[in-house]
Structure 1
Amino acid sequence: MEEKKQIILENVGKLYLKHGIKSITMDDVAQEFGISKKTLYQFFKDKESLVEEVINYYMENPHFNLNDENNGNPIDRIFALRIHLASILRVYNNNLEFDLKKQYPALYKKLHDFKRKKILNDNILNIEDGKKQGLFRKDIDTEFISKLNVGRMLLTMNPDHNIFDESELASIEIFDKTIDYHLHGICTEKGLKYYKEQLNSLQNEKQN
């Protein structure tokens, strides 16, 4: 039963990303998975509990871990995160954030607080690890740069502020340009050389 529930959570999350929350009913979910509403309610008592568990599931998703050493050095990990974000942006719909903020404000705040803390902690660990490996400059203020990244990600990427339009927010190019700006500011000569090698490799893959 737990495996079935996990499959539901993962795939309902994809539905929310694509269509938003408001338009997806419990009937839609039951139909999507070929189960009765009675069976669905054995897993989730109502739509709000489903939304909450989907949010929790994605907050614990290891794909968003910037410091998974299995993904290589700190620069490699940024590229690994990029691959996962690109797959999300292909289907992402801003209605998800709007619906969450309007219908489930407590969950919206929980998600916002989680993103703020996670981006900060991940950046601190990533930068410190990069310093140890000689990829990032030792003279930069890790906490300051990390907080700057939190502000940049949460403010400029928030559709409420109208800094970027919807088409720009749905493009991986924003992430690419942000990372390029970020790494050019913190990399050592060794780090910049490695970053450019990885960037060239990525661009060659796109062309093939």
Structure 2
Amino acid sequence: MKEKILEKATDMFLNLGFKSVTMDDLANEMGISKKTIYSHFKNKTHLIEESTTQLFCTVSEGIDHICSLGKNPIEELYSIKKFALMHLKDEKSSPQYQLQKYYPKIHESIKEQQYEKMQECVVVNIKRGIELEIYRENLNIDFVSRIYFSGVTSIKDQRLFPISKFPIATLMDEYLEYHLRGIVTPKGRKILNTIINSNHE
């Protein structure tokens, strides 16, 4: 039962937002009593902690799987972006923003884990790109990986990028292209243009 509650809660949080969903909403949606939920989770904050941790693990495992496929580094970043969007439901309800505003401790904890995961993944991606001569060889890898993470985090800030003006899927596409155009070689640019053109078809 705990797994079912967690699964349904995560789905509702992502679709409606962490603040918007109440324990009553969750109980009604599942056709169970609040008492049943509280027998597994001591309060809503505890439920959100478990939910965000599980979601982070699911996304991390998916990213690890994509990285193990040996795709070229540019294609790899597009696959990761597509996978993350699919799991985060396009973030229509801006759950990230609600998490940051109403549950800042949980948000900070997840952000630290995301940073470690992305650093490791992006550094390997950049090194492989340089070896394959599709990224410039004079890149400061540490700087590029950190600025990339900083950008990915910033575009989720609705004060900077309101969803009414910048739909999340378009924003992620534009940010990824912006990042890659700054680091690719002419050889890499050809691969990038091919991927962008095929995405527009």
TM-score of the aligned structures, taking structure 2 as reference length: 0.83
What whole-Å deviation, never above 9, does each CA across 1:8-39 have from its counterpart, x for those lacking one?
A: 43432221122112221222222323333343
**Offset at residue 169 of structure 1 (A):** 4.3
Q: How does 1:81-92 map to 2 (within 5 A)?
A: 81-87=80-86, 88=88, 90-92=90-92
Distance 1:71 1:42 in 2: 44
> Which residue pairs with 1:144 in the alignment?
143
Matched residue of 2:136: which SS? coil
- Kept in 1: contact 2:122–2:145 (CA 8 A): yes
- Kept in 2: contact 1:74–1:130 (CA 8 A): yes
- Kept in 2: contact 1:100–1:108 (CA 8 A): yes
Distance 2:124 2:77 in 1: 12
How many residue pairs end up in the alignment? 198
**1:92 aligned partner, one-letter code:** K
What whole-Å deviation, never above 9, does each CA across 1:119-158 have from its counterpart, x for those lacking one?
A: 3332212111222233222221111111111222223432
Distance 2:99 2:45 in 1: 10
**2:160 aligned partner, one-letter code:** I
> Which residue pairs with 1:70 in the alignment?
69
Q: How does 1:103-122 map to 2 (within 5 A)?
A: 103-122=102-121
Matched residue of 1:84: which SS? helix
Show structure 2 runs of 5+ residues with no match.
Answer: none
- Kept in 2: contact 1:75–1:195 (CA 8 A): yes
- Kept in 1: contact 2:15–2:89 (CA 8 A): no
- Kept in 2: contact 1:67–1:122 (CA 8 A): no
- Kept in 2: contact 1:135–1:190 (CA 8 A): yes
**2:196 aligned partner, one-letter code:** L
Give identity over the alignment, percent: 28
Distance 2:8 2:188 in 1: 38
Distance 1:165 1:103 in 2: 18
Greater shift, 107-116 or 162-171, is seen at 162-171
> Which residue pairs with 2:170 in the alignment?
173
- Over the aligned positions, Cα root-mean-square deviation in angstroms equals 2.5
Show structure 1 runs of 5+ residues with no match.
Answer: none
What whole-Å deviation, never above 9, does each CA across 1:58-81 have from its counterpart, x for those lacking one?
A: 111223559622272222221112
